[in-house]
Every structure is written in structure tokens, then in C-alpha cells.
């Protein structure tokens, strides 16, 4: 069995990760497949190994056939199996701790995708967080950078969508499940859109379940593939902090978006800022910190902002805007503050939304754009 198939077979055993692979390489540097010919006791003696893990590997039947079947199955679904040593294997992971040695991919990963910013956050963002993630995702793409995230519900998905809003935007997703067991399932369409202008990766075999232990592991790939990590919104116990820890270990800068002080979703970002994360109010802050003048120039050339004019609005519409802020206000409260009947207020809000002045949030709430 050649080195490539051996690496895949070892990965398919589900007990060989980067650390155990490293110990195998130290003993069999020229022919990894020799590991399948030693005894369980010999394998268990290696660093990071246990009798149980040794037994599972050496009881793995027909490793070459299993590896070939996985490649054939992937190819039939338009999925690439990238294995350490392949020319197409992302070089961005070469210098991170515990680098992956097998990746499944749909879409295309290009050399320019190494210029990337990871955008992460909570799964239940506020309307403010959604707006910030969408805008920052789009602006990062406009600066010629790729948006990297985890395709999770909430901020991750919105950041991907923001990148896709820009016609030339690129985005990369890393999953915590197999590519043929998409999680969350409602993001299948978004995954397809990402693959059309980027790539969706998984470190797990095609039908792998979204096990809880997978997500902390995949987070090192999100940070490892990026020049820096941006946290938009996060609770204090958010999984985003795992990605942040990986970023710090990898020597990557951490950025955070400040939010309303009364919102629970702001607590994590504010804690990071207090600990030294770069406060971000726009993409210029990111590219200033990483000293990429070229990206700043590209963004300025593409982000031609034409301010909306309120001159042509009716007095009623102007009154509504005077009573709206950048945090959502319930329509009943807005009606009382503006002194406008609910039915008429609905008509005016629809007009303002179509003109791009306001946005509707869940629960019949509105905020100024």
C-alpha cells in the first residue's frame, strides 16, 4: 500500500490523529504501511497510543480497499480527497500545531485564499450582530480577502452570506461533520453557494456525524487558515473562545466587534477587548492591524458609499427615523413614540425598508440601517 492510501486508511480508523500519526512516522518514516504488520503491544508502546487505540487500528480490515472505496465514493459525488503530500493540499496548514493530514473538499481552494480573515460568533445573534456580520463579511471580500468560518447557525452563516453578497467575494467553510452528512442540514444550499465561489472542507470522512468533539478540533483549521480571527458576537461560554485560543497559539491576531452593553451576546467580545483583542468598527481596523495597505486600498476603491438622502422623505417618515436607533425597537413602542397609528406605521415602515433606511428584525422589531 502506498503512502497516500496508508495515510487515508489510518485516518479512516477514527483513532489516528496528527499526534498518533507523528509517533508512527518516527518509527516508520519511509513506509507507513509497515504499521499494519506490527503487534498491538508494539503499537501501544508508542507515544500517545493506548492498548485500545492500537487494537482498533490493527483490527481494521482491508485498509487499502477501504481507502480506495472512500476515494471512489467521494469522486462519484464530486468531492476531492486531499491527502498530505498532494500538490493540492493547502500549504497554509504546514506550520500549525497538529496539522490535518486528510481533508475532504467540494469547490476550489485557490492560492489567494491564503489571504483570509475568519469571522465567527454565536449561533443566536442579535439583529445588531447579524447586521455587523453581514457588513463585515461583505467588506472583507471587497478588500480582496477570503472570509473563513464554520457554516454554523448564526454569525458563521451570515458572514459567509456577506462575502457572497460581493460579486467577486470568496469564502471558505470548515465543517464538524462529513460532507455527505451536512450540518446544520438547513445550510445545504448555502454550502453549495460557498462551493461555487470557494470551498467547503471537512477533516472527517464523508458520512461522519456532527459529534461534539469534532467542533473544537475543526476550529483550529478555521484559525489556521486565516490571517486573523474576528469575533462579532459571543456569549461568555461561547465555542468561539476555542477558536480564539487556537488563534493565539498560532500567533494570529484576534479582533472583536463591540456591542450594546446590555446585550448578553456582547459579553464575549467585550471580554476579549479587555484582554487585548483589537476593537473593530470596520474592516479598516483589521487591515491596519495586520499592516496590509494593499487591502485597504482595494477596499476603498470598491466601497464607494453613496449616502441615502432623507431630503425626499415625508415628515412622517423622518419622524420614524428620529425615533429609531441601531438596536431594534418593537413596532408597538415605535407607534407610541412617533404618534402614528399602527396601520399607517406599517405602510411607512415598508416604504422605508424598500428605500434602504430601515431593516426588520424578528418579533416585529425595526432598526435603522
| pLDDT number for residue 326 | 72
What's the total number of domains in the chain? Answer: 3
Q: φ, ψ for residue 366 (rounded to 5)?
A: -135, 150
Q: What residues make up the domain containing 340?
A: 315-368
- Calculate what percentage of the chain has a pLDDT beyond 90: 85
Q: φ, ψ for residue 219 (rounded to 5)?
A: -65, -25
Inside any domain, residue 307: no
Which one-letter DSSP state was computed for residue 89? S
Inside any domain, residue 191: yes
Q: Cell for 68?
A: 480506495
Q: Residue 32 contacts by C-beta under 8 Å, 6 or more apart in sequence?
A: 3, 6, 7, 10, 24, 25
Same domain, 140 and 213: yes
| pLDDT number for residue 308 | 65
Query: What is the pLDDT averaged over residues 225-247?
Result: 95
State which of 261, 280, 302 marks the end of a domain. Answer: 302
Judge whether residue 306 has pLDDT over 60: no
Q: Cell for 98?
A: 497538529
3-class secondary-structure state, position 249: helix
Inside any domain, residue 83: no
Inside any domain, residue 84: no
42: domain CATH number?
1.10.150
Query: What is the pLDDT averaged over residues 63-71?
Result: 96
The vertex-301 CA angle with 295 and 302, nearest 5°, equals: 90
Are residues 216 and 123 in contact, defined by beta-carbon separation less than 8 angstroms? Answer: no
3-class secondary-structure state, position 3: helix
Query: What is the pLDDT averaged over residues 154-177?
Result: 96
Question: Measured between alpha carbons, how far is 151 from 191 in angstroms, rounded to an integer?
Answer: 8
Inside any domain, residue 225: yes
State which of 275, 302, 329 marks the end of a domain. Answer: 302
Question: Measured between alpha carbons, how far is 74 from 205 in angstroms, rounded to an integer?
Answer: 9
121: domain CATH number?
3.40.50.450
Question: Measured between alpha carbons, how far is 316 from 319 in angstroms, rounded to an integer?
Answer: 5
Question: Measured between alpha carbons, how far is 302 from 143 in angstroms, rounded to an integer?
Answer: 8
Of 362 and 247, the one with more pLDDT: 247
| pLDDT number for residue 1 | 84
State which of 70, 88, 121 marks the end of a domain. Answer: 70
β pairing state of 228-231 and 254-256: parallel
Same domain, 190 and 166: yes
Distances (CA, A) of 249 to 54, 95, 228, 242, 252: 30, 12, 12, 11, 8
**201: which strand partners?**
105, 174
- Calculate what percentage of the chain has a pLDDT beyond 70: 99
Query: What is the pLDDT averaged over residues 204-208?
Result: 97
For the whole model, what pTM was predicted?
A: 0.85
Same domain, 221 and 126: yes
Query: What is the pLDDT averaged over residues 309-326?
Result: 88
**360: which strand partners?**
366
Question: Measured between alpha carbons, how far is 293 from 262 in angstroms, rounded to an integer?
Answer: 35
Judge whether residue 305 has pLDDT over 80: no
Question: Measured between alpha carbons, how far is 53 from 314 in angstroms, rounded to an integer?
Answer: 72
Inside any domain, residue 273: yes
Query: What is the pLDDT averaged over residues 179-183?
Result: 97
**Closest-CA residue to 243 (of 216, 277, 225):** 216
Q: What is the CB neighbour count within 10 angstroms for residue 240? A: 29
356: domain CATH number?
1.10.10.10
Question: Measured between alpha carbons, how far is 286 from 134 in angstroms, rounded to an integer?
Answer: 16
Same domain, 207 and 284: yes
**Closest-CA residue to 201 (of 21, 79, 95):** 79
Question: Measured between alpha carbons, how far is 154 from 183 in angstroms, rounded to an integer?
Answer: 13
Length of the chain: 369
Q: Could you tell me if residue 321 is left (phi over 0), alpha (psi between -120 and 50 degrees) or otherwise beta?
A: alpha
pLDDT band per the 50, 70, 90 thresholds, residue 307: low
Same domain, 47 and 159: no
User: Please, what is the average pLDDT of the chain?
Assistant: 94
3-class secondary-structure state, position 175: strand
Which one-letter DSSP state was computed for residue 200? E
- The tens digit of pLDDT for each residue in 87-140 reads 999 999 988 999 999 999 999 999 999 999 999 999 999 888 998 999 999 999
Same domain, 238 and 295: yes
Query: What is the pLDDT averaged over residues 360-368?
Result: 84
Same domain, 194 and 237: yes
Inside any domain, residue 59: yes
Same domain, 120 and 60: no
Same domain, 167 and 262: yes
Same domain, 135 and 267: yes
Q: Cell for 177?
A: 461533520
Same domain, 122 and 191: yes
Are residues 89 and 194 in contact, defined by beta-carbon separation less than 8 angstroms? Answer: no
Inside any domain, residue 288: yes
Q: Cell for 169?
A: 467575494
Same domain, 220 and 274: yes
Amino acid at each position: 500500500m502506498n503512502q497516500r492510501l496508508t495515510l487515508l486508511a489510518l485516518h479512516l480508523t477514527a483513532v489516528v490523529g496528527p499526534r498518533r500519526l507523528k509517533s508512527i512516522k518516527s518509527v516508520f518514516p519511509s513506509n507507513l504501511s509497515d504499521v499494519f504488520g506490527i503487534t498491538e503491544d508494539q503499537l501501544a508502546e508508542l507515544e500517545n497510543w493506548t492498548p485500545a487505540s492500537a487494537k482498533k487500528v490493527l483490527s481494521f480490515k482491508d485498509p487499502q480497499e477501504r481507502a480506495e472505496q472512500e476515494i471512489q465514493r467521494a469522486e462519484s459525488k464530486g468531492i476531492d480527497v486531499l491527502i498530505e503530500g498532494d500538490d493540492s493540499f493547502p500549504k497554509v496548514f504546514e506550520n500549525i500545531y497538529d496539522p490535518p493530514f486528510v481533508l475532504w473538499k467540494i469547490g476550489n481552494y485557490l492560492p489567494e485564499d491564503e489571504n483570509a480573515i475568519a469571522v465567527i460568533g454565536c449561533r443566536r445573534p442579535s439583529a445588531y450582530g447579524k447586521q455587523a456580520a453581514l457588513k463585515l463579511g461583505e467588506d472583507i471580500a471587497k478588500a480582496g480577502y477570503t472570509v473563513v468560518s464554520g457554516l454554523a447557525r448564526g454569525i458563521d452563516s451570515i458572514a459567509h452570506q456577506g462575502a457572497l453578497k460581493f460579486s467577486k467575494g470568496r469564502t471558505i467553510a470548515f465543517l464538524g461533520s462529513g460532507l455527505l452528512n451536512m450540518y446544520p442540514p438547513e445550510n445545504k444550499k448555502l454550502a453549495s453557494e460557498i462551493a461555487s465561489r470557494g470551498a467547503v472542507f471537512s477533516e472527517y470522512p464523508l458520512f461522519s456525524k456532527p459529534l461534539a468533539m469534532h467542533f473544537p478540533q475543526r476550529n483550529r483549521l478555521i484559525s489556521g487558515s486565516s490571517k486573523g480571527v474576528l469575533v462579532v458576537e459571543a456569549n461568555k461560554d461561547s465555542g468561539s473562545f476555542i477558536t480564539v485560543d487556537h488563534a493565539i497559539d498560532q500567533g494570529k491576531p484576534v479582533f472583536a466587534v463591540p456591542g450594546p452593553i446590555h446585550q448578553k451576546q456582547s459579553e464575549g467580545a467585550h471580554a476579549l477587548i479587555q484582554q487585548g483583542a483589537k476593537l473593530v468598527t470596520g474592516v479598516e481596523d483589521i487591515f491596519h492591524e495586520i499592516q496590509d495597505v494593499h487591502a485597504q486600498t482595494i477596499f476603498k476603491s470598491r466601497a464607494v458609499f453613496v449616502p441615502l438622502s432623507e431630503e425626499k422623505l415625508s415628515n412622517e417618515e423622518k419622524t420614524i427615523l428620529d425615533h429609531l436607533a441601531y438596536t431594534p425597537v418593537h413596532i408597538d413602542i415605535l407607534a407610541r413614540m412617533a404618534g402614528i397609528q399602527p396601520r399607517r406605521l406599517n405602510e411607512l415602515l415598508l416604504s422605508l425598508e424598500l428605500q434602504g433606511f430601515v431593516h426588520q428584525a424578528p418579533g416585529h422589531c425595526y432598526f435603522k440601517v
